[in-house]
Amino acid sequence: MKEYITIKDFGPLKDIENLQLKSYTILIGESASGKSTLMKVVAMMRYLYKMANIRSYLKHSKITSSPFRVRFSTMMERQGMEKMLTSNSIIDYSVVMNDGTEYSVRIENGRMGALPIVRPEHLLFEKVSYISENRNIIPTWTQKASQNSGATLGYYFHETNTDFARASEKDKEIRLDYLGMKLQITHPKGKPTRYMIIPYDNRHTPIDLREASSGIQTSTSVALIVKDFADASNGFSFKDAFNRSVLNYLYDTDRLTKFKAITEPNNLNKKVFIHIEEPELSLYPDAQCKMIEELFYTTINSDADREINLMMATHSPYILNYLNIVLNQKDESRAKLTPENIAVYRIFDGETQDLLMQDEHGRWIVDTYDLSEMMNNIYREFVNMGI
């Protein structure tokens, strides 16, 4: 399956035409250029297509009156994007299956068109996750959950916090090799969940995640959520998600007896879409590169029952340059991407520029000129000072 997005006159995004979204899609650009807006639009449209799949599955399973309604205006308001939508705005998300069949979700004239009916052979079970840039406060927020009842820091923080909490439901340890540490999660009886950061070499005693550096806090949330989605045996369960979103509703509305499953949910293709704002936040350059390597390797080698897609918005020249290592390295023990499964786009003046290219040797590389040139400019300015 291939995905494409078209966006016209939506906030800072003026003219994006049939942009292909790949398994790994990286966005760069200046502040306020529209990186996060583009990623939020993609996440929203993927969610709508997920709803189309659920409604189609139920329709094919004899539940003709859909229990899942989508209120587009409420969705836009909740996500803080309602002011970007004008009468001239167009958003078109399309999915093209391997046999050429195309499904699309379209927003035009301020309204969302009807969701498509997905054929049985094309049904997908999808999970859409968004990891917000203000994730650094999650450890403290989690410890004060009872005090935070009714409080909110916005839709995307809520989504991130929900996935973080779900990934923390069991006692576990996860490796943070990019830091040389591990995260230990325990659930003391009658007390809040405990998150401890433990160095591999015991160079210091274990510390509570709330007391760790900002780089450890922001990156640990990302690592925990991504690794949870990649782990079918001890992490995110599509079966549990199906029971929560579909079977429980049918039971509560006395429709379960009418339900004649067209196929078992476990037989559906499964995709997880993870969208990460600024994965590099507060991390030292070396740790940024190691973290990206670890995230790529984890998702490439995720459990066989699911495919994981990553989309990232970044300002980091280190991450952008490191993509060239991931594209060209030959070590089988490390992450390896190809032009078929990675896309790198620069957002500029409301449009996108493809940064993936071939050099004079035929190697696929990412054009890092924009983010690398600033370092050269600084050096030239220093030399010209004549100190």
Residue 360 lies in domain = 2-136+236-384
Is 148 among the domain residues?
no
Give me the sheet containing 207-208, strands edge to edge: 172-176, 181-186, 194-199, 207-208
Residue 224 falls inside a structural domain? no
Number of H helices, E strands in the chain: 10, 17
What per-residue confidence (pLDDT) applies to 152? 59
Quote the pLDDT of residue 146: 47
Angle in degrees, CA 133, 136, 141, rounded to 5: 120
Residue 68: per-residue pLDDT:
62
Residue 14's pLDDT is 96
Phi, psi of 265 (to 5 degrees): -55, -35
Kindly state whether residue 174 falls inside one of the protein's structural domains: no
Q: Are strands 90-96 and 351-354 parallel, antiparallel or unpaired?
A: unpaired
289 occurs within a structural domain: yes
Domain for residue 201, yes or no?
Answer: no
Distance, CA of 195 to chain centre: 23
pLDDT at 65: 67
Query: Over the chain (387 residues), what is each successive 10-residue block's mean pLDDT?
Result: 96 96 95 93 95 90 71 83 92 96 95 93 94 88 59 78 92 95 94 93 90 94 95 86 76 70 84 96 95 95 88 94 93 92 96 94 87 75 77
**CA-CA distance, 138 to 258, in Å (whole number)?**
42
Q: Is 298 part of any domain?
A: yes
Q: What are the residues whose beta carbons fall under 8 Å from the beta carbon of 65, sequence distance 6 or more?
A: none
The answer to whether residue 325 is domain-embedded is yes
pLDDT at position 209 is 94
Q: How many structural domains comprise the chain?
A: 1
Per-residue pLDDT at 148: 53
pLDDT at 144: 65
State the burial class of residue 286 (Cβ atoms within 10 Å of its Cβ: 0-12, 13-18, 19+). Answer: exposed
Residue 222: per-residue pLDDT? 96
pLDDT at 145: 57
CATH number at residue 34: 3.40.50
Determine contact, residues 258/62, Cβ cutoff 8 Å: yes
The pTM of the full predicted model, rounded to 2 decimals, is 0.92
Give CA 127 to chain center in angstroms. Answer: 10
Q: Is residue 77 part of a domain?
A: yes
Nearest to 224 by CA among 269, 173, 267: 173
